[in-house]
């Protein structure tokens, strides 16, 4: 397996995301567009990113100062844990409140209160780990 959040890894994530109708399809229904960075807590910038248009990832790779709507950070250990066993709604809430999952950019509260976004967000962890 390639290094987590490397360009190769992010492109594999893109393929899995787009193949998952409960993820890409659900976000397509609400016209979800976003640029999302992924990385490790404590680092200056994310390592990888995806750009989503109408629910589908249209670009993925190394982060190179793209303007982000979301910037998600956690330790490598936490990312690995969630990829092996994706968190449910309660696990996600606990990860956020305990600062194991940080939103350096983006509004976690607004996202989690909207079931049209919360379900696919949780589903994205399954796409990461498959």
In a domain, 112, yes or no: yes
pLDDT in tens, 4-27: 999 999 999 999 999 999 999 999
Which pLDDT tens digit goes with each residue over 88-105?
A: 888 888 888 889 999 999
**H-only helix segments in 76-114:** 76-84, 89-97, 108-113
| Residue 107 pLDDT | 82
Q: How many CB atoms sit inside 10 A of residue 120's CB?
A: 24
Tell me how crowded residue 33 is: count the other CB atoms within 10 A of its CB.
14
For 30-49, write each residue's pLDDT tens digit. Answer: 999 999 999 999 999 999 99
Q: Is the dihedral of CA 87, 119, 60, 98 positive or negative?
A: negative
**Residue 37, pLDDT score:** 97
Q: Which residue carries 């490598």 as its tokens?
A: 76
Residue 64 lies in a domain: yes
Task: Give tens-digit pLDDT for 54-113.
Answer: 999 999 999 999 999 999 999 999 999 999 998 888 888 888 888 999 999 988 777 777
Q: Contact 70/115 with Cβ under 8 angstroms?
A: no
Q: What is the pLDDT of residue 87?
A: 87
Laid out side by side, the sheet with 34-40 consists of 56-62, 48-53, 34-40, 70-74, 102-105
Instruction: Identify the domain containing residue 108 by its residue range.
Output: 7-129
| Residue 90 belongs to domain with CATH number | 3.30.1050.10
54 located within any domain: yes
Domain count across the chain: 1
pTM of the model: 0.92
């Amino acid at each position: 397996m390639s290094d987590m959040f490397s360009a190769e890894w992010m492109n594999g994530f893109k393929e899995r995301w787009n193949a998952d109708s409960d993820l890409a399809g659900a976000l397509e229904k609400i016209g979800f567009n976003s640029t999302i960075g992924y990385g490790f807590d404590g680092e200056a910038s994310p390592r990888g990113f995806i750009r989503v248009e109408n629910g589908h990832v249209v670009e993925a790779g190394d982060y190179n100062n793209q303007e982000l709507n979301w910037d998600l950070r956690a330790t490598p250990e936490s990312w690995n844990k969630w990829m092996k066993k994706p968190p449910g709604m309660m696990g996600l809430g606990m990860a956020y409140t305990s600062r194991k999952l940080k939103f350096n950019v983006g509004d976690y509260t607004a996202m989690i209160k909207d079931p049209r976004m919360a379900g696919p967000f949780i589903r994205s962890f399954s796409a990461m780990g498959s």
